[in-house]
């Protein structure tokens, strides 16, 4: 079957993408690794010894970045609805974060640990209808914030991908109620045309 013009253009852009080429060279599973690396370089969220959860982790590039930094005294817990090939020193559960049973299994894996950091690059399956996609995305973000309320230690941080839409301001308000400081980040590795930005909550109350 012939590829459409748009998919050909995507493929050409992807193959020629500077960050895709860097990811292949540096051994990361996806270009998204450089979003986290850039934010972490600025904000020092992940350090040796950090205990963190990676929500929406597949294919695993954020978990790879985190595991390389936290070292032997830290820990990375990851969850995604999609399968993820194993990563050394990363504890992974495959399942739907929206499913209570799956979430309970993930919480059991934490073993009562309070987290220093929660990172979420979760996104829904894209339908192509922006209103529906934004609503689904913010539902996931709300669940992530609930998880943060339950498992992030005082003083901890939360990094979450959001899309700018009608739910953005209420979500920002909810984060400001929970964190001493909330800032936005748009790393260079985010595609220019993407409406995604990252919200970073620092100093959990």
Q: Is 62 annotated as a binding residue?
A: yes
Q: Is 10 annotated as a binding residue?
A: no
Query: Which residues, listed in sequence order, are joined to residue 79 by a DSSP beta bridge?
Result: 55, 93
Q: Is 60 annotated as a binding residue?
A: yes
Q: Is 131 annotated as a binding residue?
A: no
CA distance 72 to 138: 34
Residue 41 in contact with residue 35, Cβ under 8 Å?
A: no
CA distance 132 to 138: 10
| Burial class of residue 185, CB neighbours in 10 A (0-12, 13-18, 19+) | middle
A 10 A CB-CB count for 126 gives 11
Q: Is 202 a catalytic residue?
A: no
Residue 64 in contact with residue 29, Cβ under 8 Å?
A: yes
Q: Is 133 annotated as a binding residue?
A: no
Which one of 44, 161, 173, 188 is the catalytic residue?
A: 161
From the annotation, which residues make up the binding site?
60, 62, 80, 96, 121
Q: Which residues are catalytic?
A: 161
Give binding residues for S-adenosyl-L-methionine as ranges: 60, 62, 80, 96, 121
């Amino acid at each position: 079957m012939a590829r459409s013009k748009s998919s050909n253009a995507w493929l050409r852009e992807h193959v020629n993408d500077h960050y895709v080429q860097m990811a292949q060279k540096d051994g990361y599973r996806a270009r998204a690794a450089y979003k986290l690396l850039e934010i972490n370089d600025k904000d020092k969220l992940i350090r040796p010894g950090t205990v963190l959860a990676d929500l929406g982790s597949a294919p695993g590039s954020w978990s790879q970045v985190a595991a390389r930094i936290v070292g032997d005294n830290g820990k990375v817990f990851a969850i995604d609805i999609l399968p993820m090939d194993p990563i050394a020193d990363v504890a992974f559960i495959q399942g739907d974060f929206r499913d209570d049973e799956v979430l309970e299994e993930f919480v059991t894996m934490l073993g009562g640990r309070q987290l220093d950091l929660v990172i979420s690059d979760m996104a829904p399956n894209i339908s192509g209808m922006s209103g529906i996609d934004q609503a689904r995305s913010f539902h996931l973000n709300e669940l992530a914030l609930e998880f943060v309320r339950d498992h992030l230690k005082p003083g901890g941080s939360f990094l979450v991908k959001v899309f700018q839409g009608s739910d953005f301001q209420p979500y920002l308000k909810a984060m400001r109620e929970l964190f001493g400081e909330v800032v936005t980040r748009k790393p260079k590795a985010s595609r220019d045309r993407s409406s995604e930005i990252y919200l970073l909550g620092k100093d959990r109350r």
